[in-house]
Amino acid sequence: MSPAVSRTDDPSSELSVPSAPGEILLELVDDHGVTIGTGEKLWAHQQPGRLHRAFSVFLFDRQGRLLLQRRALGKYHSPGVWSNTCCGHPYPGEQPFVAAARRTTEELGAAPALLCEAGTVRYDLPDEASGLIEREWNHLFVGLVTAELEPDPEEIEDTRFVTAAELRALRAEKPFSVWFETVFEAALPGIREIAGNDW
């Protein structure tokens, strides 16, 4: 058995990892999104990848523009690329909605004024630049942001509000995260409820 996982006494879970100082643990899930244990974050993203729970947030301003972030250059995974408003992983046992609101506030310095569930999407997406893989059961959220942003520079290099047309132009010019297209397309029905059919 890999040193990154071990058995647990919890009957609802097949895998568990003892917590070590500085380690970040993710929830491992089965093909139905049911939690089966925990795994260390980097290990879960290394080939062949371990399916784990994640979330992606798409926030809009009052004009219906999408808030994008450019990931900080110091991040080990997908540094310097554009992506959706916020994405991350719930702590083991943390509800995805709670994690999405928490992490958005931590990264952007502004809590969502509105946050709604927009479904889930499962994917296996290798990132050629890093050699890592995104093998995720992703919970999608859409909402509004009205407060002034104070991005955490360790997480975010830049932010930008864009219209649908501006997003298309930016995607033609700049690199985006490997997961962006997949989560964006999956979230579109919810996005249109929040921001209108121009999206």
Binding site residue list for Mg(2+):
107
Q: Which residues are catalytic?
A: 87, 136
Q: How far apart, in whole angstroms, are the C-alpha atoms of residue 99 and residue 105?
A: 10
As a whole number of angstroms, the distance between CA 162 and CA 128 comes to: 27
**Feature table: binding site for Mn(2+):** 45, 52, 89, 134, 136
Q: How far is CA 57 from CA 65, 116, 196, in A?
A: 14, 9, 17
Residue 38's φ and ψ, nearest 5 degrees, are -135, 160
Show binding-site residues: 45, 52, 89, 107, 134, 136
Tell me the DSSP string of 124-189.
Answer: EEEETTTTEEEEEEEEEEEEE--SPP---TTTEEEEEEE-HHHHHHHHHHS-B-TTHHHHHHHHHH
